[in-house]
Amino acid sequence: MLLVKNIAKIVGIDTQHRDRVFGRDMDNVTTLDNAWLAVEDGKIAAFGETDTMPDESGFQRVVDAEGGMLYPSFCDSHTHIVYAGSREQEFLDKIHGLSYEEIARRGGGILNSADRLHETGEDALYEQAMQRVREVALMGTGAIEIKSGYGLTTEDELKMLRVIRRIKESVPLEVRATFLGAHAVPRNYIGRDDEYVDLICREMLPAVADEGLADYVDVFCDRGFFTIEQTRRIMREACKYGLPAKIHANELDFSGGVQLGVAEGALSVDHLERSGSAEIEALKGSLTMPTMLPGAAFFLGMSYPPAREMIASGLAVALASDYNPGSSPSGNMRMVMSLASIRMKMTPNEALTAATLNGAYAMGESDKLGSISVGKVANFFITKPMPSPEFFVYAYCTPLIARVFLRGEEYS
Ligand code: NIG
Ligand code: FE
């Protein structure tokens, strides 16, 4: 049993056990001042105001929050954190004027990462990814979805997914794995992309399902990558193996990916830089979580998704980092929240809801994660003393996360 005392404010409480929060409610973040929180068996057991605090002697461990605030850990529902090496050469190419798509057409981008991944052994890949996982855990992330998609052959996709499984087994974060064989058409299939989709459906998906390596399937459904028809086919095939979809949609064009995702029951549609009223209408009343990745829009200098319009339309929205070597080489969810506030005019409260409970929904975990609620996994962090929760998003470069707890144990 663990007791955290001297908490200036618990931020992000949900006593209603909602699976996600919609529209204007996203701005109503429940807080509790001068509080304590108790953990038992890795779960949040109770919390309350200081005058109701149980006797310290009943606890094995007492942690003094020293007047900091306590937040639920971030749920980062979209990352590509398993990759080999880095792509700063393309960063230079972008500085010199090439676009993401131009780099991809020259054989760079995802194919560049696929070449490096092919040359890298499973152990080295695991070590590189674990460094990033440790980095994001200390920055407040307590749940993370990780995609394959730099393999692009059956063998290398399985290699990536086995690395994700190893991560899942070795860290206290909650990890979800997504099979993204349809991330790009590999070089030997260029001009024969339907044959590559055949390979995904006939060989890769059965192999992935056979080893139980994935929780979800994903497709990069966008201009120059995979079409609506190809995406639908992969989603339906994955459905036979019980794998719900999380779709990369509308990053480069009004691809129809959002409408398809909703129609086919995708758990989330992600990116959405190219979205308007048709996409918003499609999402209304659906089970699909629109997920925005402002780190990618920032890094690639793209326009940002219409967050205000989505929220005004009553949609629940999520925020994720998209941590990957090509379009978002950072998994800092605080920075993602700040970008959401600065560039998409989301309030700090809306950004927090999007990065926690709604992110948990987008990884199918909102019954266990994403808020301070009795019975949920005790994944939270304590900040240094701050004047207000808004300060956490405003002072975007100040290190403010003091201590991290995952499954009720301190992570350092
Ligand atoms: O979400 N857009 C597609 N996939 C990634 C980028 C992958 C890469 O460039 O390596 C993304 O932005
Ligand atoms: Fe992505």
Distance 47 CA to ligand 1 centre (A): 40
pLDDT in tens, 327-348: 999 999 999 999 999 999 999 9
What's the pLDDT score for residue 255?
87
Ligand 1 near 250 CB (within 6 A): no
Ligand 1 pocket: which of 183, 255, 291 to mutate (most atoms within 8 A of CB): 183
Statement: residue 163 has pLDDT above 90 = yes
Ligand 1 near 326 CB (within 6 A): yes
Longest dimension (CA), the chain: 70
Q: What average pLDDT score do residues 120-136 get?
A: 98
What's the pLDDT score for residue 107?
82
Ligand 1 near 73 CB (within 6 A): no
CA–CA gap between residue 167 and residue 174 (Å, rounded): 10
What number does the ligand 1 atom closest to the CA of 109 have? 9
Distance 248 CA to ligand 2 centre (A): 6
CA 230 to chain centre: 24
CA–CA gap between residue 374 and residue 47 (Å, rounded): 8
- pTM score: 0.97
Amino acid at 108: G
Ligand 1 near 257 CB (within 6 A): no
Q: What average pLDDT score do residues 386-399 get?
A: 97
What's the pLDDT score for residue 161?
98
Q: What average pLDDT score do residues 258-283 get?
A: 97
Distance 168 CA to ligand 2 centre (A): 19
Statement: residue 3 has pLDDT above 90 = yes
Residues around ion ligand 2, judged by CB within 5 A, are 322
pLDDT in tens, 195-246: 999 999 999 999 999 999 999 999 999 999 999 999 999 999 999 999 999 9
Ligand 1 near 79 CB (within 6 A): no
Task: State the sign of the Cα–Cα–Cα–Cα dihedral 195, 177, 114, 119.
Answer: negative
DSSP code per residue over 125-178: HHHHHHHHHHHHHHTTEEEEEEE--S--SHHHHHHHHHHHHHHHHH-SSEEEEE
For ligand 1, atom 9, the nearest C-alpha belongs to: 326
SS3 content of the chain, % helix, strand, coil (to 5): 40, 25, 35
What are residue 64's DSSP bridge partners? 5
For ligand 1, atom 8, the nearest C-alpha belongs to: 326
Q: Say what percent of the chain tops pLDDT 90.
A: 98
What number does the ligand 1 atom closest to the CA of 104 have? 9
